């Protein structure tokens, strides 16, 4: 009997039943999909880094080095399991061409390498260690889709030609957030092509316990070993691999939680609508002796059935969507090793969403106990105290607008030129990098002279980065990568304090501040090198804490004037009004060394975050589609509930001579007021709460204090227009119910 009653109820309430099942399925799909993508991402990255045997610590170095000194140091370090010395042949991007694609505007440091011997292996699509033949080259998989490269294409380095034999996964440099990319060639071709580039060393270590990296880094610096280049650790490599796709997944997760909240609200009002319509039937069941518990079980069984159906459908949809959304992850990192656990996590996410909804259903169904049998049989009574049902309309519009705004604003923020201030980069027009050259200082000096004498240059600053040994107040030593120069010309974003202006002042990045426990006003002793080559301690006061996501977010800014060798230099340039940046860059690029890279800041940011911005854009389109679909169903259901609640009043209005059109117009006016309130609150919440959400994401990279850059077209035109069209389209469909209300009904519905 219970089964028959459930199916009869489903048959007679098709719209409500389908709407409920859709909400349950969409919620299960989004939460399950988010969990699936997260689990896949972390599992795939772990699997790749394990198979490739990624180094725990690596030091890039340009210039001469003593291999015997390195091996002697390694033998004396018990935590080191293996050490190897790799070479990387830096190429000028203008030399590189694949098919018809030139790498002239590519912002990465591209170069050639051979397969590693002991660890840090480069893997093919099947996660096998690649053995490359002479004449062939394996291209980083990150470039496959970006440039549309195919197996069999020809790669040209100057006049030399190589055949693209496949694509490789580089656990160390997979992410576009890594500033370098390796192309794998045979040892024969590497030696043959060596005259076309400048060679750089990658000194790599693997530890018995990867947590030894901090102490090892200090010991490495203390030993005076080669360090003319950036230092990279295992956690930083993992972070860079995770962030690109991770930001997109977190946006989807945000949408999932918002839709879950909307689903709980909507299903609550769906049930209330059903209870309003079923008052007489409920009263009759009570009158013939059916207990409250059995009545509640009847409804609960129906929603349990819908929940199971929604969970299955949502999980199936999540599996379908996971294929295109996870394609880039699979190409970059390979398949997850523990696929069973990944799918189990997805099912657990979908089940969790349904559990939350069912708990809400159970709570709402308790209202059936308040219905009096006599009042229900007479058409009176209700499911408890009647609330203003227009408020939920405004609330759901608010959260839908918020859901649509956040991805757009994140995309706009990352694309905005001013975002570089949160990256620890000066907000100038042009950035010039001087790296991978034997005499960075001399090359930087020559460029600075050219800038000083160039009347087209409005202002410029020179930043020289060196590696310094520092001593904290507790006496412990700490390695600091300090960028020295005049930081007042192009200041970055400071969370506390300000930039250094004197030699005894220093600013810390947020991550350095958190790791050392030092803040503004604390002191640190920095060891600088004098002109005669002797070291001298300088006690510096921390004057500021700034946001930075470059070089792993662990940097410092100073005004120290010494002879410590630069591991790289950066120049920031702004041009006079009317000067075309492209022409200026082209002129300087043609007359500069291969190791000097010149680009507009916008191109630099796009080179690092272009793929991430594109993924957030895709998530934004999906979010708008989901939000419009949800709000369409929501307004359909809530308007029907409002009409049912106010059926007696509408009947009375008809009895007094008002037409159905008059009553519809009254409803539309009310809806317009709450729609406007929802739009305003949604935009404000997107600006305030959305900013905190985006800031929380970027704080993992060391970027804090983020100010949202609002996309005005999306925020004030696209989102409101989509909301207005969707809401009123749903309202016009729902208000057709007004015609079915008869004037005499008010005689039977008065309480």
Task: Tell me the mean pLDDT in the region 99-111.
Answer: 83
Q: What is the mean pLDDT of residues 373-393?
A: 60
| 505: confidence class by pLDDT, cuts 50, 70, 90 | very high
pLDDT of res. 173:
85
Judge whether residue 338 has pLDDT over 70. Answer: yes
Can you tell me whether residue 463 is helix, strand or coil? strand
Q: Which residue has the higher pLDDT, 662 or 508?
A: 508
Query: Where is pLDDT greater, at 729 or 601?
Result: 729
**pLDDT tops 70 at residue 717:** yes
What value does the mean pLDDT of the chain take? 82
Taking phi over 0 as left and psi of -120 to 50 as alpha, with beta for the rest, 183 belongs to: beta
- What is the arithmetic mean of pLDDT over 61-81? 85
Least confident of 290-304, 437-451, 476-490: 290-304
User: At a CB cut-off of 8 Å and minimum separation 6, what does 199 contact?
Assistant: 87, 88, 89, 90
pLDDT confidence of residue 190: 93
Is the separation of the CB atoms in 30 and 252 below 8 Å? Answer: yes
More confident residue, 47 or 415: 47
Q: Above 70 in pLDDT, residue 339? A: yes
Contacts of 212 (CB under 8 A, 6+ apart): 56, 79
Rounded to whole angstroms, the Cα distance separating 97 from 278 reads 72
Torsion of CA 10, 11, 13, 16, to 10 degrees: 50
Q: Name the band, by pLDDT with cuts 50, 70 and 90, for residue 282.
A: low
Residues 265, 268, 273, 276: is their CA dihedral positive or negative?
negative
pLDDT digits over 117-162, tens only? 999 999 998 889 999 999 999 999 988 878 889 999 999 998 889 9
Highest averaged pLDDT of the listed ranges 277-286, 370-379, 492-501: 492-501
pLDDT band for position 363 (cuts 50, 70, 90)? confident
Question: Which helix (H) or strand (E) element contains residue 477?
Answer: strand 477-484
More confident residue, 746 or 686: 686
Instruction: Tell the residue number behind the tokens 């005669």, with chain if given.
Output: 532
Q: Find all residues with CB under 8 Å of 34, minimum gap 6, and list them.
A: 249, 252, 253, 256, 349
Highest mean pLDDT, choosing among 13-17, 49-53, 258-262, 405-409: 49-53
Q: How high is the pLDDT of residue 68?
A: 87
Average pLDDT (373-390) is 56
Write down the H helix ranges in 523-600.
581-590
- pLDDT tier for residue 436 given thresholds of 50, 70 and 90: low
Greater confidence (590 vs 124) lies with 124
- Distance (Å, rounded) from C-alpha 542 to C-alpha 557? 10
pLDDT band at 751 (very low <50, low <70, confident <90, very high): very low
CB atoms within 10 A of CB 356: 16
pLDDT over 70 percentage in the chain: 87
Average pLDDT for 549-569: 80
Q: Is the pLDDT of residue 378 over 70?
A: no
Which residue shows structure tokens 């905190």? 692
Residue 348 burial (C-beta neighbours within 10 Å; 0-12, 13-18, 19+):
middle
> What's the confidence (pLDDT) of residue 372?
57
Q: CB 345: neighbour CB atoms within 10 A? A: 18
Query: How high is the pLDDT of residue 380?
Result: 52
Digit-coded pLDDT (tens) for 448-487? 898 899 899 999 999 998 888 888 888 887 778 889 999 9
Closest CA to 51 of 140, 171, 150: 171
Locate 415 and state its tokens: 């694309």
Tell whether the model's pLDDT for residue 404 goes beyond 80: yes
Candidates 512, 296, 496, 263; CA nearest to 383 is 296
Q: Which residue has the higher pLDDT, 145 or 84?
A: 84
Indicate the pTM of the whole model. Answer: 0.75
| Pick from 41-45, 63-67, 542-546: least confident | 63-67
Whether 220 shows a pLDDT value over 70: the answer reads yes
Query: Do 594 and 103 meet the contact criterion of CB atoms below 8 Å apart?
Result: no
Task: Give the pLDDT confidence of 7-53 residue by residue, as tens digits.
Answer: 666 666 676 777 788 888 888 888 888 888 888 888 888 888 989 99
- Say whether pLDDT at 524 is over 90: yes
The structure tokens listed for 130 are 């690649």
> What local confidence, expressed as pLDDT, does residue 3 receive?
66
């Amino acid at each position: 009997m219970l089964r028959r009653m459930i199916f009869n109820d489903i048959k007679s309430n098709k719209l409500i039943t389908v709407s409920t099942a859709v909400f349950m399925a969409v919620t299960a799909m989004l939460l399950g999909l988010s969990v699936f993508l997260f689990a896949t991402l972390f599992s795939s990255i772990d699997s790749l880094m394990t198979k490739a045997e990624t180094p725990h610590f690596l030091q890039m170095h340009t210039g001469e080095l003593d291999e015997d000194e390195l091996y002697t140091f390694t033998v004396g370090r018990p935590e080191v399991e293996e050490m190897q010395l790799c070479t990387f042949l830096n190429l000028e991007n203008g030399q590189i061409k694949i098919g018809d694609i030139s790498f002239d505007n590519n912002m990465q440091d591209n170069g050639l390498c051979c397969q590693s011997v002991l660890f840090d292996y480069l893997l093919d699509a099947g996660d096998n260690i690649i053995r490359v033949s002479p004449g062939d080259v394996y291209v980083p998989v990150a470039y496959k889709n970006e440039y549309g490269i195919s197996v069999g294409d020809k790669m040209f380095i100057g006049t030399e030609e190589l055949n693209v034999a496949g694509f490789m996964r580089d656990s160390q440099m997979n992410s576009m957030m890594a500033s370098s990319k390796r192309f794998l060639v045979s040892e024969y071709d590497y030696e043959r092509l060596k005259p076309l580039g400048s060679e750089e060393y990658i000194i790599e270590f693997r530890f018995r316990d990867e947590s030894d990296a901090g102490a090892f880094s200090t010991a490495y610096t203390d030993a005076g070993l080669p360090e003319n280049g950036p230092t990279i650790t295992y956690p930083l490599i993992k972070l860079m691999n995770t962030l690109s796709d991770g930001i997109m997944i977190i946006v989807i997760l945000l949408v999932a939680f918002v839709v879950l909240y909307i689903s709980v609200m909507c299903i609550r009002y769906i049930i209330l609508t059903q209870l309003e319509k079923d008052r007489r039937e409920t009263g009759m069941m009570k009158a013939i002796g059916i207990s409250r518990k059995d009545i509640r079980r009847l409804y609960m069984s129906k929603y349990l059935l819908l929940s199971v159906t929604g969970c299955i459908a949502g999980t199936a949809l999540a599996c379908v969507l996971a294929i295109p959304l996870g394609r880039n992850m699979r190409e970059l990192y390979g398949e997850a090793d523990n696929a069973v656990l990944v799918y189990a996590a997805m099912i657990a996410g979908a089940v969790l969403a349904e559990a939350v909804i069912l708990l809400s259903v159970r709570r709402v169904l308790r209202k059936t106990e308040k219905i009096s049998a006599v009042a229900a049989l007479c058409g009176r009574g209700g499911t408890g105290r009647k609330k203003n049902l227009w408020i939920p309309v405004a609330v759901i519009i608010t959260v839908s607008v918020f859901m649509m705004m956040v991805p757009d604003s994140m995309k706009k923020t990352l694309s905005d030129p001013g975002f570089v201030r949160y990256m620890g980069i000066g907000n100038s027009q042009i950035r010039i990098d001087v790296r991978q050259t034997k005499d960075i200082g001399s090359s930087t000096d020559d460029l600075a002279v050219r800038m000083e004498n160039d009347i087209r240059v409005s202002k410029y600053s020179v930043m020289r980065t060196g590696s310094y040994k520092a001593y904290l107040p507790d006496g412990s030593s700490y390695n600091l990568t300090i960028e020295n120069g005049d930081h007042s010309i192009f200041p970055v974003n400071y969370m506390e304090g300000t930039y250094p202006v004197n030699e005894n002042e220093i600013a810390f990045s947020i991550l350095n501040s958190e790791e050392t426990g030092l803040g503004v006003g604390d002191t640190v002793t920095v060891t600088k090198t004098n002109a005669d080559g002797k070291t001298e301690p300088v006690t510096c006061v921390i004057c500021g804490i700034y946001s930075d996501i470059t070089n792993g977010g662990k940097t410092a800014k100073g005004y120290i004037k010494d002879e410590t060798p630069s591991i790289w230099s950066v120049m920031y340039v702004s041009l006079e009004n009317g000067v075309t940046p492209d022409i200026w860059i082209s002129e300087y690029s043609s007359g500069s060394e291969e190791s000097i890279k010149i680009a507009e800041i916008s191109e630099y940011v796009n080179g690092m975050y272009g793929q991430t911005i594109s993924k957030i854009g895709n998530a934004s389109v999906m979010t708008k589609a989901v939000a419009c679909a949800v709000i369409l169903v929501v307004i359909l259901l809530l308007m029907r509930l409002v009409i049912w609640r106010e059926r007696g009043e509408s009947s009375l209005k008809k009895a007094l001579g008002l037409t159905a059109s008059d009553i519809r117009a009254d409803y539309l006016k009310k809806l317009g007021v709450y729609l406007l309130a929802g739009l305003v609150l949604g935009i404000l919440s997107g600006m305030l709460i959305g900013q905190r959400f985006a800031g929380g994401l970027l704080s993992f990279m060391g970027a804090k204090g983020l100010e949202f850059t609002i996309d005005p077209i999306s925020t004030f035109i696209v989102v409101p227009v989509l909301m207005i069209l969707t809401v009123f389209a749903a309202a016009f469909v729902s208000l057709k119910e007004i015609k079915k209300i008869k004037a005499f009904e008010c005689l039977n519905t008065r309480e």
